[in-house]
Amino acid sequence: RRPRLAEGPTLGRRRTRAAVRAGRRTNRLGFILTGIVVAFLLAFSALVMSLVLHEVGHAYAAHLFGDDTAKRQGRLSLNPLRHLDPLGTLLLLLVGFGWARPVPIYPPAFRAYRLGLFAVSVAGILVNLALAVLFALAVRGLFALDPEGVYGAFRGSGGSALGLLALAAYVASSINLVLAVFNLLPIPPLDGSKILQSLLPLAWHPWLWRLEQYAWLSFLLILTVLRGPIQEVLAFARQVFFTLL
C-alpha cells in the first residue's frame, strides 16, 4: 500500500473553513427554528388574550347597561378557560377565523334596549380593532429600532429578538383584525347580526332571536359555502389595514 501523505497546510485550512461554515449553518438553522417556536408561542398567547378580551368587552358592556347575567356566570373574568371554545380556537389557527364561547346576555334587562343591544354587540369588535392597531404600531416601533432584524424575521432567514417580537406582533395584529371583521358579518349568531338587529323594527326581533337556535347551520355555511368569500373579505381587510398603518 502507498504510504498516506500528510495533509498540506492548504488542505487543512480548507477543511477548517468548511467546518466553520457548517457550524454556522447549523447554528443559524437552530436560531431560525427556535425563533419560529418562540414567535408561534407569542402569537398563540396573543390569540388567547384577544379572544378573552373580546368576550370580556361584551360582558362589561352588558354590565354597564344593567344586565348582570354575564357577571353572575363569571364572564367578567380574564381566565381563558371561562371564554375559549375549543373548536373556534382551533379553526382560528387552521383556517384564519374562529370564535370563543358567546357571552350570555338578557337584553330585556338593558336600561335602553336598542342602545344596549348595539353597544354590547359592538364592544368586542372595538376591543379587537384597538388591539389590532396597538400591535401594528408595535411592529412599526420595533422596525424603527432594528430594521435588519425585523426584515430577517419576516423573511424567515433569522433576524433578532426584536425581529421575532415584531413578527409575533404582526400575527397578533392580523388575528385581531380578523376577529373584528369576521364578527362584523351579519350572520347569526355573530356580533354583526345583532348590530343589524338593533337597527331593525322591534316587531322583527322575536323572529330574529329565534334564529339563534340555528347557529350550527350558520357555522356549517361559514365552513363550506361561505368560506371562500369570507377569506377574500378578510384578505382585503388585512391588505387595506396594513397599507394604512
Write out the catalytic residue numbers: 55
Cα dihedral 202, 188, 196, 111 sign: positive
- C-alpha 119/C-alpha 58 separation (Å) is 8
Which amino acid belongs to residue 20? V
Closest residue by Cα to residue 166 from 155, 177, 176: 155
**CA separation, residue 160 to residues 21, 95, 153, 165 (Å):** 20, 28, 7, 9
**Backbone phi, then psi, for 3, in 5-degree steps?**
-65, 140
Placement of cell 371583521 in the chain? 181
Considering all CA atoms of the chain, what is the largest pairwise distance in Å, rounded to the nearest integer?
A: 103
- C-alpha 132/C-alpha 180 separation (Å) is 9
- C-alpha 65/C-alpha 87 separation (Å) is 30
Cα dihedral 231, 87, 106, 61 sign: negative
Number of other residues whose CB lies within 10 A of the CB of residue 51 = 26
